[in-house]
Amino acid sequence: MRFSQIVRALVVSLLCLGTAEALSAQGYKVIAHPSVAADDAPAAALSKVFLKQTKKLPDGSTVTPADLSKDSPVRDAFTKGVHSRTIAAVETYWQQQIFSGKEAPPSTKGSDAEMIAWVKAPPGAIGYVSSGASTDGLKVIAVK
Protein backbone atom coordinates (compact mmCIF):
# COMPACT_ATOMS: atom_id res chain seq x y z
CA MET A 1 0.00 0.00 0.00
CA ARG A 2 1.34 3.41 -0.92
CA PHE A 3 1.65 6.24 1.56
CA SER A 4 -1.09 8.26 -0.22
CA GLN A 5 -3.48 5.29 0.02
CA ILE A 6 -2.77 4.94 3.73
CA VAL A 7 -3.38 8.65 4.30
CA ARG A 8 -6.62 8.50 2.28
CA ALA A 9 -7.85 5.48 4.27
CA LEU A 10 -6.99 7.24 7.53
CA VAL A 11 -8.87 10.41 6.50
CA VAL A 12 -11.95 8.41 5.47
CA SER A 13 -11.87 6.51 8.77
CA LEU A 14 -11.66 9.74 10.76
CA LEU A 15 -14.54 11.28 8.81
CA CYS A 16 -16.73 8.24 9.46
CA LEU A 17 -15.82 8.31 13.14
CA GLY A 18 -16.69 12.01 13.33
CA THR A 19 -20.08 11.37 11.72
CA ALA A 20 -20.89 8.55 14.15
CA GLU A 21 -19.85 10.72 17.09
CA ALA A 22 -22.00 13.60 15.82
CA LEU A 23 -25.03 11.33 15.53
CA SER A 24 -24.61 9.94 19.04
CA ALA A 25 -23.85 13.43 20.37
CA GLN A 26 -27.26 14.52 19.11
CA GLY A 27 -28.67 12.86 22.25
CA TYR A 28 -32.03 11.84 20.77
CA LYS A 29 -33.67 10.01 17.91
CA VAL A 30 -37.10 10.61 16.49
CA ILE A 31 -39.32 7.52 16.50
CA ALA A 32 -42.65 6.84 14.86
CA HIS A 33 -45.26 4.11 14.55
CA PRO A 34 -44.38 1.73 11.69
CA SER A 35 -47.41 3.07 9.77
CA VAL A 36 -45.56 6.35 9.18
CA ALA A 37 -44.01 6.24 5.72
CA ALA A 38 -41.31 8.91 6.18
CA ASP A 39 -37.69 7.82 6.63
CA ASP A 40 -36.45 11.35 7.24
CA ALA A 41 -37.73 14.88 7.72
CA PRO A 42 -36.22 18.34 8.01
CA ALA A 43 -35.92 19.71 11.55
CA ALA A 44 -38.20 22.61 10.59
CA ALA A 45 -40.97 20.21 9.50
CA LEU A 46 -40.63 18.20 12.71
CA SER A 47 -40.77 21.42 14.72
CA LYS A 48 -44.09 22.31 13.09
CA VAL A 49 -45.45 18.85 13.94
CA PHE A 50 -44.37 19.00 17.59
CA LEU A 51 -45.69 22.57 17.91
CA LYS A 52 -48.95 21.33 16.37
CA GLN A 53 -48.79 23.81 13.51
CA THR A 54 -49.37 20.88 11.14
CA LYS A 55 -50.41 17.25 11.47
CA LYS A 56 -48.47 16.05 8.44
CA LEU A 57 -44.86 15.29 7.65
CA PRO A 58 -43.51 16.45 4.27
CA ASP A 59 -44.24 13.00 2.75
CA GLY A 60 -47.94 13.37 3.66
CA SER A 61 -47.95 11.05 6.69
CA THR A 62 -50.43 12.22 9.33
CA VAL A 63 -48.86 12.10 12.79
CA THR A 64 -49.69 12.75 16.45
CA PRO A 65 -46.73 13.94 18.57
CA ALA A 66 -45.75 13.36 22.20
CA ASP A 67 -43.00 15.02 24.24
CA LEU A 68 -40.84 13.80 27.08
CA SER A 69 -41.13 15.56 30.45
CA LYS A 70 -39.72 19.10 30.84
CA ASP A 71 -36.90 17.95 33.10
CA SER A 72 -35.62 15.35 30.62
CA PRO A 73 -32.13 16.00 29.19
CA VAL A 74 -33.34 14.23 26.02
CA ARG A 75 -36.15 16.78 25.67
CA ASP A 76 -33.61 19.55 26.13
CA ALA A 77 -31.46 18.14 23.31
CA PHE A 78 -34.51 17.60 21.08
CA THR A 79 -35.86 21.10 21.75
CA LYS A 80 -32.53 22.72 20.92
CA GLY A 81 -31.93 20.51 17.87
CA VAL A 82 -35.40 20.58 16.31
CA HIS A 83 -37.01 23.80 17.53
CA SER A 84 -33.77 25.80 17.91
CA ARG A 85 -35.25 27.09 21.17
CA THR A 86 -35.03 26.43 24.88
CA ILE A 87 -37.64 24.40 26.75
CA ALA A 88 -38.72 27.63 28.49
CA ALA A 89 -39.34 29.29 25.11
CA VAL A 90 -41.44 26.34 23.95
CA GLU A 91 -43.39 26.43 27.23
CA THR A 92 -44.09 30.13 26.63
CA TYR A 93 -45.32 29.27 23.13
CA TRP A 94 -47.76 26.72 24.61
CA GLN A 95 -49.00 29.17 27.23
CA GLN A 96 -49.79 31.63 24.44
CA GLN A 97 -51.56 28.93 22.42
CA ILE A 98 -53.68 27.87 25.37
CA PHE A 99 -54.48 31.46 26.37
CA SER A 100 -55.64 32.28 22.84
CA GLY A 101 -57.86 29.17 22.73
CA LYS A 102 -55.78 27.32 20.16
CA GLU A 103 -53.93 24.02 20.52
CA ALA A 104 -52.90 22.24 23.71
CA PRO A 105 -49.35 20.86 23.92
CA PRO A 106 -48.62 17.26 22.99
CA SER A 107 -49.08 14.65 25.69
CA THR A 108 -46.04 14.11 27.88
CA LYS A 109 -44.33 10.79 28.54
CA GLY A 110 -42.12 10.29 31.59
CA SER A 111 -39.42 8.04 30.17
CA ASP A 112 -38.01 6.42 27.03
CA ALA A 113 -39.89 3.22 27.90
CA GLU A 114 -43.19 5.08 28.24
CA MET A 115 -42.60 6.94 24.96
CA ILE A 116 -41.73 3.72 23.11
CA ALA A 117 -44.83 1.95 24.45
CA TRP A 118 -47.02 4.90 23.41
CA VAL A 119 -45.51 5.22 19.91
CA LYS A 120 -46.10 1.49 19.29
CA ALA A 121 -49.84 1.81 19.98
CA PRO A 122 -51.70 4.34 17.80
CA PRO A 123 -50.95 4.53 14.07
CA GLY A 124 -49.28 7.85 13.26
CA ALA A 125 -47.70 8.30 16.70
CA ILE A 126 -44.40 10.19 16.73
CA GLY A 127 -42.02 11.02 19.56
CA TYR A 128 -38.35 10.92 20.47
CA VAL A 129 -36.12 8.98 22.85
CA SER A 130 -32.49 8.96 23.90
CA SER A 131 -30.06 8.00 21.15
CA GLY A 132 -29.17 4.76 22.95
CA ALA A 133 -32.74 3.51 23.42
CA SER A 134 -33.78 0.27 21.73
CA THR A 135 -36.36 1.07 19.08
CA ASP A 136 -37.10 -2.41 17.72
CA GLY A 137 -40.40 -2.49 15.87
CA LEU A 138 -40.49 1.28 15.39
CA LYS A 139 -39.57 3.59 12.56
CA VAL A 140 -36.58 5.83 13.27
CA ILE A 141 -36.86 9.09 11.37
CA ALA A 142 -33.60 10.81 10.43
CA VAL A 143 -33.55 14.53 11.14
CA LYS A 144 -32.23 16.49 8.15
Q: Is residue 14 part of a domain?
A: no
Q: pLDDT tens digits, the chain, 144 residues: what are they?
A: 564 444 344 444 444 444 333 334 579 999 999 999 999 999 999 999 999 999 999 999 999 999 999 999 999 999 999 999 999 999 999 999 999 999 999 999 999 999 999 999 999 999 999 999 999 999 999 999
Q: Is residue 5 part of a domain?
A: no
With contact defined as beta carbons under 8 Å apart, do 29 and 129 qualify?
Answer: yes
Structural domain count of the chain: 1
Q: What is the CATH number for 135?
A: 3.40.190.10
Q: Is residue 54 part of a domain?
A: yes
Q: Which domain holds residue 128?
A: 27-143
Q: Is residue 72 part of a domain?
A: yes
Q: Is residue 19 part of a domain?
A: no
* Rounded Cα gap, residues 24 and 141, in angstroms: 14
